Amino acid sequence: MDYSYQQLLNQLRKSEGDGWKMITIDGVVGVGKTTLMDIMVKEFGYTPFIEPVVNNPILDKFYHDRERYSFPLQVFFLNERFKHIKDASKLDKAVLDRSIYGDVIFAKMLRDNNEMSEEEFAIYVDLFQNMIQHCEPPALMIYLEVSTEEAIRRIHKRGRTFEIETENIYWERLNKEYRNYFDAYDASPIVKVNVDNLDFENKSKDRAYMIALIKEALQSF
């Protein structure tokens, strides 16, 4: 089964102004998604849906044995993100730290790196396609772009052992996959922001810049 991101994205419903009113923040590990989500909660009153990495029974095992745990981890995330997007769809102002829409990035990379079998990937894609038929695209996708070097620096600063011990080539591949995916993404309006030189957690100027970008995007819906 040979899927490009464009082929996968072609199966998603496209937003024509009447999608769900949620906002999704996406980007590689350590890029600042949760920090930006917290800003949106405080500044705009959005209800947060945090990525299920805490109390995840598989995540740390995956980083030590990706071939063994890639499929159950991706099914776990897919199921949790489907729950999140259904719950968020009932609200007028919801913000998600990643969502089901970008879930295929990880699965496809793992398949391409022979860390998920073709059979497992086929089952995953079939499940993804079944779920996505019940979803509407977000009102806005915010993609936080970052260099691999900066992502790794932030990962080390955050200090999760299983992430720090992961080889750099994994983060390089993941960042490449993210860029390819969001170059092809057209399911909804999207704002792309390079955050290499932004620290909107600690610097008020950078925080104000992000708030202004979001306000401008929100004016369109």
Please report the pLDDT score of residue 101 as a whole number: 85
d(CA 106, CA 83): 19
d(CA 178, CA 109): 10
**Which candidate, 85, 86, 88, 124, places its Cα nearest to that of 104?**
124
d(CA 53, CA 69): 15
d(CA 173, CA 176): 5
CATH number, domain 5-218: 3.40.50.300
pTM: predicted TM-score of the whole model, two decimal places = 0.89
Cβ atoms of 73 and 25 closer than 8 Å:
no
DSSP 192-214: EEE-TT--TTT-HHHHHHHHHHH
Please report the pLDDT score of residue 221 as a whole number: 63
Residues with a catalytic annotation lie at 97
CA dihedral 194, 214, 78, 157 (to 10 degrees): 50
Please report the pLDDT score of residue 159 as a whole number: 80
| pLDDT tens-digit profile, the chain (221 residues) | 566 777 777 666 655 555 678 999 999 988 999 999 999 999 999 999 988 776 788 988 998 899 999 999 999 999 999 999 999 999 989 999 988 888 899 999 999 999 999 999 999 999 998 998 888 888 899 999 999 999 999 998 888 887 888 889 989 999 999 999 999 898 888 999 999 999 999 999 999 999 999 999 888 76
Cβ atoms of 201 and 32 closer than 8 Å:
yes
Cβ atoms of 109 and 174 closer than 8 Å:
yes
